[in-house]
A and B are shown apart, each in its own frame.
Chain A
Amino acid sequence: MFGRSRSWVSVSGRSGSNVHSLDRLKYMYHVLTKNTTVTDQNRNLLVETIRSITEILIWGDQNDSSVFDFFLEKNMFVFFLNILRQKSGRYVCGQLLQTLNMLFENINHETSLYYLLSNNHVNSIIVHKFDFSDEEIMGYYICFLKTLSVKLNSHTVHFFYNEHTNDFALYTEAIKFFNHPEHMVRVAVRNITLNIYKVNNQPMLHYIRDKTAVPYFSNLVWFIGIHVIELDKCVQTDEEHKNRGTLSNLVSQHLDHLNYLNDILIIDCEFLNDVLTDHLLNRLLLPLYVFSLVNQDKPSERPRISPQVALYLLSQVFLTIHYAPLVNSLADVILNGDLSMFSSKAEHDVQQGSADYSIRCFTKPHETLEKSLELNRQRGRKKHQKRPNYKNVGEEEEDEKPSEDIQEDIDKGKVAENTSKFAKGSGDTEEIEMVIMERSKAAEKSSVIKEENTTDEEKSEAAAGVHSSQNRPFLDMVYSTLECTEDDYYTLFVLCLLYAMSHNNGIDPSKLERIHLCLRPAKEANTYNHVLVERLIRIMNNSANLESKVRLATLELACILLKQLVLFEADCIIKDIHLACLEGAREESVHLLRHFYKGEEIFLDMFEDEYRSMASKPLNVEYLMMDESILLPPTGTPLTGIDFVKRLPCGDVERTRRAIRVFFMLRALSLNLRKEPETQLPLTREEDLIKTDDVLDLNNSDLIACTVITKVGDQVQRFLAVDIYQMSLVEPDSKRLGWGVVKFAGLLQDMQVTGVEDDSRALNITIHKPASTPHSKPFPILQATFIFSDHIRCIIAKQRLAKGRIQARRMKMQRISALLDLPVQPSKEVVGFGHSSTSSTQHLPFRFYEQPRRVGSDLTVQNSVFASVDKVPGFAVAQCINQHSVSPASSPSPPSSSSSSGSTGPCDSVTTSVTSTPSTIQSPSDDSSIMDQPSVYSQIETTEDNLSFPTWSRKSSLRKLDSEITNLAPSLTPAPQPTISLISDDNTDSLSVESLTLVPPIDPCSIHSFSFILESPLKSDLQKCENAKFCVTESADGNTKQ
């Protein structure tokens, strides 16, 4: 401590309050007065002095008000300005800016703040021309402005905005950087402007609108437009998705801009919004976006973007901006407008003599922002204000449009009336045609007729197109693009656009009602947009094809839209005919999935995983439209890094995944429209599972006592119980005998069990939880060593877990096949399973308890509920499977035993089969193998064969049991466990364990020794084997047979 305080005498050291004191500030003042001119010699001193002053001032603000008084009294700010203005002062600029940043960031007392802001010093600093080429200076400067803008409110605004001189340096200096090349600087500029707009000070806002709004907004809109054109070029010139990086950047920038505009509009400052809306609509959205929707083939002077980009951008606009005047006008043009608005309207405006700003055209502003701001400043207040002009432009449009459109609307209204009558009248005849969606071209024709009132059926499509192009070309383009004949490149955008429009709060519902896209139901909600619904259903139908080019995102969005069109709170107004078509599509999806359905275990994992990821990540259209990858033509390869739902599947696994998802979506949709609840999915429902702290009735359940040692070393005594889908660790319930409290429950299907190298009483058990987000690594919810009282208990536990695992998985597979309307047939796989399971209940001392009996709300029922099994979904199925499979299991002998009886021949054949590699052995047994690890199984069979020496045949009944046991075991041994070799002379016990748990003889030594045994069958060895065998049966059966 002493050493320290001494050291502060030398300049660098500082400790405690000595450094932070009024006296110290006085000393600093002294230094400043001595060094008014910056020289090479004193500049380091000056930097340090200013830095210290900063610290003292902030300290003073927090601890001692006299510090600020002194600072003000001596007018120390002037020293700063003085330094700034010197040529060599540049050197100190960085420090000064940091100081200013810190002062305004850290000063909390209002009086202190006012001191700092008084005398216009801060404004002098704002307009100072710093060396902005320096990254650091730029950063400090813009942050300084940002900090000031945060401090801006109706009290402090007078320090910045001078009504008399029309100066608002903070704002005008900031917006000069609106297109600075450095991203962070641009963001800060936008932040500053928003902070300023937010301040509700009329004179200031008037100033902003009158003097700066037009130049700023027109430049901003132009800047955005330039970006869009660049973006479009990027899409058009793309080859092999090489432009994606650039495109991503451009899309994000565009979204930044849109969101920024929306943030301005949300502040809801009326004057600003008028000007902004005018510019945005008439200088960008209409002339560039909407105009590009049609007439792509006609050459034009006007700049254009490709239609897919236009659709994409328009969707983004509707998703982002909800400002009613803007989105209403825009929606109106898309739904009702025609091309005339780009010609006559403009002329009209010119005739009115209004400023050329109102021409609907995407053109460059006359002058740069900086120049306009400069000119505006010079013009001063006296000059004629432009304000009424802008205001009028906005109003005039609002007024004009209706008057022009009213006539049109009336006409359309009539047409619509007529058509709806027509539709009702001819409904019956049409329905027949529409039944088959594949041939629904005809249906579509008639619906087009309905809409457009065209009579010529022959060339209806073309005719309708031509006809309507005079009417509503934009809407027509939207509809026609919904057709996904080739692929769904454009379709996705149109769906997004429709979705975005229907979800936009700003749009007047009556506008959307015209195309029945309204989210809220119309008064008598019994009609809907037939054309749209039919096209949506066609997309669904299409997506269920094997070679479909419909991406999952498109399908999901189509489902959402369809629901939205026909489903209102309680009512589903879909016509039977459409529902039938939809059911057809669902059927197709079932067929499609059946095509991929395999008995493989992995199918179950995929099935559940897909469900999980679909449920956890429903389509978010907003996020979807932020993704630049959909702007490029759909591709199939995952090498692009494009999200699975936004591209086509690649390879069989992905095709399976896709089919699964299509199935899920159409199933959900169909159930939804038919108002039926989902009872089958997900396969495992959270609410059916045993949870921690549940209290179960475990009377008559099999429980194995064990010690659980977790990875961190905690050690607890638990009982292990196995349920249908789960294993659980319980401890006795203190209140009721025979009941247990669940301390842990985990899904059997996600479990891995391995033996422990040097302890035959222990098992390592790991249960992984499926990852919830792609960012997290799979995280084991249980990772522990279980120690049982002896190796027999250990084997039993291991078996039970293994069997439970298989059974749980199998049960789910059965349910999947039930979902796919596949007959739940006793295939040979099921036979094997059913066989073992039935025999298990007969011979083996464990039994699954049928129902998690929990202490819930009704205790009385709980006790008697033992028999009610239907609460667990799928249990009923499982039960009937069991019953089903009993009969076939009992009559033919299991495949393994028959094969063993065949191979009980000469010794040498056995030896060869032992020494041969597993792969060659595998083939014959593979067919009968039902295990998830067929190779392991086949090896087991071989060892089995080896053991079935002629002398063994007498114990055929035992053998049978053995084979059953072996049938079960392989899933227990996912990893090789080479440590306990098959033949171990010193420990017969471990041998018996291993013949049960079936370690594949991977260890070449053990194979060798085995063949050696066979060649020279030592009696003792054989005896040992036999003993082991008996051991096994004994332990498994519980009967003493020796």
Chain B
Amino acid sequence: MAYAYLFKYIIIGDTGVGKSCLLLQFTDKRFQPVHDLTIGVEFGARMITIDGKQIKLQIWDTAGQESFRSITRSYYRGAAGALLVYDITRRDTFNHLTTWLEDARQHSNSNMVIMLIANKSDLESRREVKKEEGEAFAREHGLIFMETSAKTASNVEEAFINTAKEIYEKIQEGVFDINNEANGIKIGPQHSTPGSPGSHMGGQQAGGGCC
């Protein structure tokens, strides 16, 4: 599938906040959330349309790097967008946001768009972190904020797409140096190669999800 741009995302946050589930929810419509099945994936891609342009989002979960500083910083650096996720039913995951954000700001390129995601909004009864707290944190640190649920798929689309929109706007404004691949943005191949079997999957998944 030909695309105008490819944006690389990373998902960060404490373990168990549902990063890989969010990722799967967004990238593969074929896996529908079911109550007795928790399923996630560490890599995925999906095509979306912004402003009439095909944009491919490639999302990397950063799990498994926790003990290695070098890996953390490298992941940050290669991404154009980051979803910083916490779990509304676990206060500690919210408390760790500052550390995550500090890390992200330090290691990422300064234009990286960071979205704060309060996940598991379906578990209202076990909520420990108020929505207002998340909003306040986001406001104070200049992040976009959204409450999502990977379980019910609520707001998952919006979270990824809004981030993409912001990146796209930054590109339009000329803030991002798109020729520098380290920014996590790639310009699509000039000549699309339809029918290449390898690209089949992306296409198929995108079919379900295009907004």
Contact = CB atoms under 8 A, between A and B. Distances in A.
A775 B142 contact: yes
Interface stretch (A56-64, A403-411, A713-721): A56-64
A190 B71 contact: yes
B54 to A, nearest CB: 14
Interface in B114-153: 139-142
A98 interface: yes
A2 interface: no
Contacts of B64: 146-147, 149-150, 191, 195
Given A94-B201, A134-B199, A191-B71, A623 B106 contact: yes
B74 A58 contact: no
Interface string B76-98: 01100000000000000000000
A147 B74 contact: no
A987 to B, nearest CB: 41
B180 A245 contact: yes
A95 B45 contact: no
A143 interface: yes
Most buried by B among A19, A186, A191: A191
A779 B139 CA distance: 9
Interface in B11-58: 20, 24, 28, 30-32, 34, 36-43, 45, 58
A520 interface: no
Contacts of A684: none
Interface string A135-161: 111011001001101100000000000
A263 interface: yes
B198 A134 contact: yes
Interface residues of A, number: 65
Contacts of A143: 42-43, 60
Given A183-B182, A190-B70, A262-B70, A20 B34 contact: yes
B69 interface: yes
B75 A131 contact: no
B77 A256 contact: yes
A93 B202 CA distance: 13
A101 B42 contact: yes
Contact of A194 (B71, B109, B177, B196): B71
A249 B180 contact: yes
A136 B197 CA distance: 11
A773 interface: yes
Contacts of B103: none
B73 interface: yes
B43 A139 contact: yes
A460 B37 CA distance: 80
Nearest to B20: A105
B133 to A, nearest CB: 15
A300 to B, nearest CB: 32
A644 interface: no
A184 B65 contact: no
A202 interface: no
A890 B38 CA distance: 82
A94 B32 CA distance: 19
A351 B200 CA distance: 60
Given A94-B201, A137-B198, A191-B64, A255 B73 contact: yes
B165 interface: no
A102 interface: yes
Nearest to A249: B182
A19 B32 CA distance: 11
Chain B binding surface SS class: mixed
A136 B141 contact: no
A136 B41 contact: no
Contacts of B196: 134
A252 B182 contact: yes
Given A55-B31, A101-B43, A253 B182 contact: yes
B30 A51 contact: yes
Contacts of B6: 135
Kindly state the interface size class of chain B when it binds its partner: 35 or more
Contacts of B197: 90-91
B78 A184 contact: yes
B198 A133 contact: yes
A772 B137 CA distance: 13
Interface in A87-107: 90-91, 93-95, 98, 101-102, 105-106
Given A259-B70, A263-B71, A776-B141, A62 B198 contact: no
A195 B177 CA distance: 33
A379 to B, nearest CB: 31
B47 to A, nearest CB: 11
A261 to B, nearest CB: 8
Contacts of A881: none
A59 B36 contact: yes
A816 to B, nearest CB: 30
Given A194-B68, A775-B142, A55 B42 contact: no
A41 to B, nearest CB: 15
A136 B198 contact: yes
A263 B198 contact: no
B105 interface: yes
A106 B36 contact: no
Interface in A300-337: none
Interface string A240-253: 00000110110011
B63 interface: yes
B70 A102 contact: no
B169 interface: no
A4 to B, nearest CB: 11
Contacts of B181: 183, 249
A93 to B, nearest CB: 8
Contacts of A775: 105, 141-142
A139 B31 CA distance: 19
A249 B185 CA distance: 13
A245 B110 CA distance: 12
Nearest to A90: B197
A366 interface: no
A187 interface: yes
A93 B200 CA distance: 10
A34 interface: no
A892 interface: no
A263 to B, nearest CB: 5
A17 interface: yes
Contacts of A623: 106
Nearest to A262: B70
Contacts of A773: 141-142
Contacts of B179: 245
A14 interface: yes
A16 interface: yes
Contacts of B75: 184, 187
Contact of A139 (B37, B58, B69, B71): B58
Interface string A1-40: 0000000000000111101100000000000000000000
A822 to B, nearest CB: 38
B68 A191 contact: yes
A263 B69 contact: yes
Given A94-B198, A94-B200, A775-B141, A256 B73 contact: yes
Contact of B38 (A62, A184, A245, A248): A62
Contacts of B109: 248
Interface string B172-205: 0000010111100000000000001111111000
B67 to A, nearest CB: 8
B43 A263 contact: no
Nearest to B199: A134
Given A20-B37, A101-B43, A150-B64, 4 more contacts: A63-B37, A90-B197, A98-B28, A136-B201
Interface of B: 6, 8, 20, 24, 28, 30-32, 34, 36-43, 45, 58, 60, 63-65, 67-71, 73-75, 77-78, 105-106, 109, 139-142, 177, 179-182, 196-202
8 contacts: A94-B200, A139-B45, A150-B63, A183-B77, A190-B71, A195-B64, A198-B67, A776-B139
- Sorted nearest first, the 8 A-B pairs with minimum C-beta distance are A134-B198, A259-B70, A775-B142, A94-B201, A143-B43, A183-B78, A260-B70, A187-B74
